[in-house]
Homo-oligomer: A and B are copies of this chain.
Amino acid sequence: MLKNDLLLRALRNEPVERPPVWMMRQAGRYLPDYLKLKAKYDFFTRVQTPELATAITLQPVDQVGVDAAIIFCDILVIPQAMGMQVLMEEGKGPSLPRVIQTQKDIDALITTGAEESLKYVYDALALTKSELNGRVPLIGFAGAPWTILCYMVEGKGSKTWDKAKQFAYTQPALAHQLLQKITDITISYLKLQAKAGADTVQVFDSWAGSLSPADFKIFAQPYLFQIANALKDDVPVILFPKGSWYALKDISESSASGVGIDWCITPQMARELTGNKITIQGNFDPSKLLGTIPDIKREVKEMIDAFGAQNYIANLGHGITPNVPVDNARAFVDAVKEYESKK
């Protein structure tokens, strides 16, 4: 039994006293206790050791007071489970030395049972669930198929995702084959996350915004919707196609329970496009957390006033950055908790 189920009620469109609040990347580099673990254990040790992943996941619940925990993990565990090498070099971002280019490359990917190699994620979820002891809901997550394809084809981060887009535009049949394989594994992976204790799951389409509205409908949206459909009887699904404001109407009519938005759209416009048919999550500009605490508190209040307190999850519009003072992160969370609706 959850003592604080604000997040789940908001996702089910049920009345809440105030909006729930959590922060993308809340378990991470702005927290001194995380940095201590980071100094001792490399990235994949932290991800693959359930005790470490659990400790990291709980830090922002204990120290910042968020209304949900999100499991400490990485979206690139899926390419890894499919047999690709993924390197995480400190300060350089991820890299995949052997990228996908041909039918042969796709054929060589592990598909059947790939999700089973991610047992450490389910173990971390189960352990975290037990440690949370009902304090707040636990969020699972995965990368969206388009975003995972971006890394698999490009091999590293990119401003333009030229190679990934060239692959998709010039070899659409191969791209769809790859996207479908990623989708199938992601569905199995998220179902196992739900089984292990995730109360809801978020799908991060971090590079959706590199696509035009027309191409988003071809290469991103169908796979996001397959995932939302497949999971809807397990747990509520939050889709976060960063930058793809143009898809908000379609997403509001999908099986997803929530949609994340970045700060480059007004709350009014986001509500207008989604017509209150879906719970909206966002959209505080992460750079604002570098401002003063009174400014943060005022702006959070203005944000909630603009979205309205119902069918809404307070969050940032993107991940929290490493240089944010912990007190400022806490001020963000406190401001949501102190919110009183104008009635």
Contact = CB atoms under 8 A, between A and B. Distances in A.
Interface stretch (A101-109, A281-289, A307-315): A281-289
Interface of A: 160-162, 165-166, 169-170, 209, 211-215, 243-246, 263-266, 269, 285-288, 290-292, 295, 318, 321, 323
Nearest to A215: B285
Closest 10 CB pairs of A and B: A165-B287, A166-B290, A212-B263, A169-B291, A213-B266, A162-B287, A170-B291, A212-B285, A162-B321, A166-B287
Contacts of A162: 286-287, 290, 321, 323
Contacts of A165: 285, 287-288, 290
B286 A160 contact: yes
A50 B126 CA distance: 68
A321 B265 CA distance: 28
Contacts of A215: 285
Given A166-B287, A321-B162, A266 B246 contact: yes
11 contacts: A162-B321, A162-B323, A166-B287, A169-B288, A170-B291, A209-B264, A212-B264, A213-B269, A245-B245, A246-B264, A246-B265
Contacts of A161: 287
Contacts of A318: 160
A14 to B, nearest CB: 29
Contact of A265 (B213, B291, B323): B213
Contact of A246 (B170, B209, B269, B323): B269
A170 B212 contact: no
A165 B324 CA distance: 13
